[in-house]
Structure 1
């Protein structure tokens, strides 16, 4: 379970920090948006800190991943809301990123929320 948690956290951290780099104009010019870059940086840092916690304390992996992914999903929902009301960036790459990252976060949360075989309670 710890390996799965770290894998999801690593992928999501890279995705959010990459999106922040795009919105900061570092990785791709023409899609700058300071508020989106700030939000994505905060989410990426939270995911990265959870990844470090999971690596340092494997027993914390599941909790760290679930907490960070829930935070990221909430932040992504806010981002989708800003797109919907016209405040956030409304480009095809932004929409594609949001769809892909929501799917990744939901799959990660569902995968980590399931009890593992070794942790299931015995049935009488």
Structure 2
């Protein structure tokens, strides 16, 4: 039987992480870590993930494909962010480095969960 719970949970957690990071870079949750470009990038990724959550709830038959799509988008954005950190363009705090490392663990796990759900759904 197809179970969308696990990949929806990943999407919710990932959405919360990106929204929180955007609010930190906006200076809303914590001051001293403001970075306009990171705020926008993380906000856009968080919004895409949030739309993905809504799409999964509205169209459960397409949830796994939607989850795969939005998480691949988030992973691509995270890789760009990690690259900018590595070349000295993006924020250079330990928190930013740890956050990107966390995302590089969580996003592939979420993609794997969505892929498993997609395979279950296809199998019937």
TM-score past 0.5 threshold: yes
What does residue 72 of structure 2 align with? Answer: 70
Shift of 1:119: 3.7
Shift of 1:101: 1.1
User: What is the rounded CA distance, in whole Å, between the counterparts of 1:102 and 1:52 in structure 2?
Assistant: 23
Structure 1 unaligned residues grouped into runs of 5+: none
What does residue 45 of structure 2 align with? Answer: 43
Shift of 1:33: 0.3
What does residue 87 of structure 1 align with? Answer: 89
Aligned residue pairs, count: 120
Larger radius of gyration: 1
Matched position secondary structure for 2:19 = helix
- Please point out which of 11, 21, 24 is paired with 2:23: 21
Shift of 1:51: 0.2
Task: Report runs of 4+ in structure 1 exceeding 6 Å deviation.
Answer: none
Matched, 1:6 2:8: yes
TM-score w.r.t. the length of structure 1 is 0.92
TM-score w.r.t. the length of structure 2 is 0.92
Structure 2 unaligned residues grouped into runs of 5+: none
Matched position secondary structure for 1:27 = coil
